[in-house]
């Protein structure tokens, strides 16, 4: 029941992940951070088999930073995404594939254009305006279909994120302990305190 959500707006990307670290039905930790900053302008959120997730995310983080140090360029989110995709596509045909699903959000270091990439453990990649992984897909994508527009401002983006979070609280049988939220814009990556009080009950 790990939740990953991504929403793009006119000049930003919101990446959110659930705070619960789970093992089967047991919640081991309620302040888990399933995101890594790859560079100054892109964030990756990950879910999947524990062990694989952090190992893979840190492999990608280190290689993205190494590439930028060697070549003196800041990689754009689409460039990072194609690198990650190729690593996952290599992995799926190996003896022990990484079981990791990802959302990669960021803004272009030159143009400031926001982009959000959806990737799964097979190496399937799609650039989309809003995305989710896991059960959140079934509850949130329909909400986002109705309310999302490419040119929404940050306040509206966060309102839509709140609607998604409420829907998950309302419908999922296990509490995912709130969301850890990061906002990427031209100014860089900011952590956003996403208030999580009160329960939401179905009608």
Binding interface with another protein (CB under 8 A):
85-86, 88-89, 92-93, 118, 120, 122-128, 131, 137-138, 141
CB of 133 to another protein, least distance (A): 10
Of 86 and 159, nearer to another protein (C-beta) is 86
Of 79 and 89, nearer to another protein (C-beta) is 89
Instruction: Please give the angle made by the CA atoms of 158, 162 and 168, to the nearest 5 degrees.
Output: 140
Beta strands 130-133 and 4-8, pairing class: antiparallel
CB of 195 to another protein, least distance (A): 30
CB of 136 to another protein, least distance (A): 12
CB of 188 to another protein, least distance (A): 28
Instruction: Please give the angle made by the CA atoms of 116, 189 and 185, to the nearest 5 degrees.
Output: 60
Of 74 and 172, nearer to another protein (C-beta) is 172
Of 124 and 159, nearer to another protein (C-beta) is 124
User: What gap in Å lies between CA 7 and CA 139, rounded to an integer?
Assistant: 15
Q: Which residues lie closer than 8 Å to 132 by C-beta, 6 or more apart? A: 3, 4, 5, 6, 103, 140, 141, 144, 164
Strand, coil or helix: what is 90?
Answer: helix
CB of 95 to another protein, least distance (A): 12
Of 21 and 128, nearer to another protein (C-beta) is 128
Helices (H), 50-128: 52-71, 77-92
Strand, coil or helix: what is 133?
Answer: strand
């Amino acid at each position: 029941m790990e939740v990953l959500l991504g929403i793009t707006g006119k000049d930003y990307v919101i990446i959110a992940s659930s705070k619960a670290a789970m093992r089967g039905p047991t919640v081991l930790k309620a302040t888990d951070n399933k995101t890594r900053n790859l560079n100054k302008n892109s964030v990756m959120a990950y879910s999947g088999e524990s062990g694989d997730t952090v190992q893979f995310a840190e492999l990608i983080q280190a290689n993205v930073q190494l590439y930028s140090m060697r070549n003196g360029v800041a990689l754009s989110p689409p460039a990072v995404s194609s690198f990650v995709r190729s690593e996952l596509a290599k992995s799926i045909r190996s003896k022990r594939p990484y079981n990791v699903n990802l959302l990669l959000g960021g803004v272009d270091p030159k143009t400031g254009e926001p982009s959000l990439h959806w990737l799964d453990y097979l190496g399937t990649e799609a650039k989309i305006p809003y995305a989710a992984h896991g059960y959140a897909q079934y509850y949130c994508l329909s909400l986002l279909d109705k309310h999302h527009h490419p040119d929404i401002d940050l306040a509206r983006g966060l309102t839509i994120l709140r609607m998604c979070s409420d829907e998950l609280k309302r419908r999922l049988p296990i509490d995912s302990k709130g969301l850890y939220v990061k906002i990427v814009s031209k100014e860089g990556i900011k952590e956003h305190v996403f208030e999580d009080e009160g329960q939401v009950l179905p009608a």
